[in-house]
Structure 1
Amino acid sequence: MHAFIIIFISYLLGSFPTAYLLVKKIFKEDIRTIGSGNPGMMNVLDNYGKRYAYWVGIIDILKGIIAISISLLITPNEIIAVLAGLIAVAGHDFSIFLKFKGGNGTATGAGAVLALMPVASSIACLTGLFVGILVKSRRLGGNTAIILIPILGFYLNVSNILVIGSILILLSIVLKVIFFEGFSLYHQKNKKVKKKQ
C-alpha cells in the first residue's frame, strides 16, 4: 500500500510542468512552440535567459528531492525510494498535465540522485560545474558529473541499492536526452527561436 501511495505522489510531483507554467504566466507563450520545443530548464535558458531558467531548475530539482524525502518518511525501504525517484523523472518526462509529454528529466533526476546520495552527488556536481565552466561546455560538465556520481558512490561506501538506483535514474535521463535531441534536431527548423533576458 505504501508503495502505491509513494508512486502516485512521485508521479504527480514529477508531472508538475514548471517551465510550461512559468513561460505561460510571464510571457503568455507556449514553450513547446519555442526553440527545441522541450518544456524544460535548458529550453528556458536558451530562449528566456538565466533568470527564469534558474527558477525552473530549482523547482524541478526540488521535485526529485521531495519525492525521495516523502518516500523515506513513509518507509525506510531503499528500493521504494529509488522507485520514487524513477517515477518522479517519468512524471517530468511524460507529464499528465501536458498530454504525457515533457522535458528530459535532468533537473528532477539530479534532485532525486542528490537526495539518495547527497555527498557523492554534491562533489560530482561541483566538479562537473567546474569542468563545464573551464571548457565552456554544459554537456561535458554534465557528462563529467554523471560519470563521477556512481564512482564516488561506490568509493564512499554508499549502499549498493542507492548507487545502482542512481545509475538507473541517470541512465533514464541519458536515454531520454538522446531520443529527444535526435527528435528536436529534426524539427528545429519548424520552431520559433528567441532570446529574452
Structure 2
Amino acid sequence: MFWLLLLLAYLLGSLSFAVLLSRLFGTRDPRHDGSGNPGASNMLRLAGRKLALLTLAGDLSKSLIPVLIAHQLGLAPLQQAWVGLAAVVGHLYPLYFHFRGGKGVATAAGLLLGLYPPAALLGLALWAGVFARLRIASLASLVAVLGILPLFAWQRPGLLAPMLLLALLILIRHRHNLRALRQGTERHF
C-alpha cells in the first residue's frame, strides 16, 4: 500500500494548478511569463489575487491529501512524510508538464500541515515575518523552509531525513533566486 500511495502522491503532485487555472481562465501561462514559475506568487503577478489563492490552495492540497490518506491508512509518520515528499517531488518535476514544475513551497506547506501542524505554523510565521519586512517571496520561502528544520530535529528527529531532503530540493529549485539575492536583483512585491 505504501508504494502505491507514493506513486499516487507523485501523480497528484504533478498537477500544476497554476498552468491548469491559467488555461481555464485564459490568462498568460506562468511558465512563460513573469518569473517563469508556475506557482502562487507568479500567478499573483500575472492573473491577480483570485487565481493566486486558487493556485495556493491547489498546491497545498496536493500534498496534504496524500498525507492525510496515509495517516488514515495507519501508515507510520515516517511513511507519511515520504508520501508527502513524493507529492512535492511531483510538483517540482511534474510528469504531465515535461518535468518543469514550481518551487514547491506551497506543496511543502501542505505536507507540513498534514504531518506536523506546529511546523506548518512556524513556517507560516517565518514566511510572513520575512515577507512583511522585506517583500521578497523567495527569501521568505527559504527562511521558512530552513527555519522549520531545528523544530524537527528537536521535536520529531525520526522525520528529519525526509525534511532535510525537502529543504535541499527547495534550495535547489531556488538556486536562481539565491543568485539574484546575492546580486541584489531579486524581485520584490
- 1:124-168 CA deviation, whole Å, 9 max, x = no partner? 32133023202333233223322321222334x22x122332222
| Residues 1:59 and 2:62 aligned together | no
What one-letter code is carried by the residue in structure 2 that aligns with 1:169? L
Cα 1:103–1:142 change in 2 (3 A) is closer
1:173 matched to 2:170? The reply is yes
**2:142 & 2:32 partners in 1: Cα distance?**
28
Computing the radius of gyration from Cα coordinates, the structure with the larger value is 1
1:1-197 map, 5 Å? 2-27=1-26, 29-155=28-154, 157-158=155-156, 160-178=157-175
For the Cα contact (< 8 Å) 2:17–2:59, is it kept in 1?
Answer: yes
How many Å apart are 1:111 and its aligned residue? 1.1
Measure the CA separation in 2 of the matches of 1:114 and 1:177: 22
CA pair 152-19 structure 1, distance change in 2 beyond 3 A: same
Identity, % of aligned pairs? 28
Superposition deviation, residue 180 in structure 1: 8.0
Partners of 1:116 and 1:166 within 8 A in 2: no
What is the TM-score of this pair, normalised by structure 1? 0.80
CA contact (8 A) 1:117 1:162 kept: no
The alpha carbon displacement at 1:28 in A equals: 5.0
Number of residue pairs the alignment of both structures matches: 179
| Stretches (4+) displaced over 6 A | none
d(CA) in 2 for partners of 1:163, 1:117 = 12
Q: Which whole-Å deviations, capped at 9, do the CAs of 1:8-56 have from their partners, x for residues lacking one?
A: 2101210111000111111254332222322222221222222321210
Look up the SS of the partner of 1:163 in the other structure.
helix
Give the RMSD, CA atoms, in angstroms. Answer: 2.2
| TM-score with structure 2 setting the length | 0.83
Unaligned stretches of 5+ residues in structure 2: 180-189
- Structure 1 segments unaligned to the other structure (5+ residues): 183-197
Any idea what the Cα deviations from partners look like across 1:59-106, whole Å, max 9, x if unmatched? Answer: 101111112112222232233212212211111122222122211222
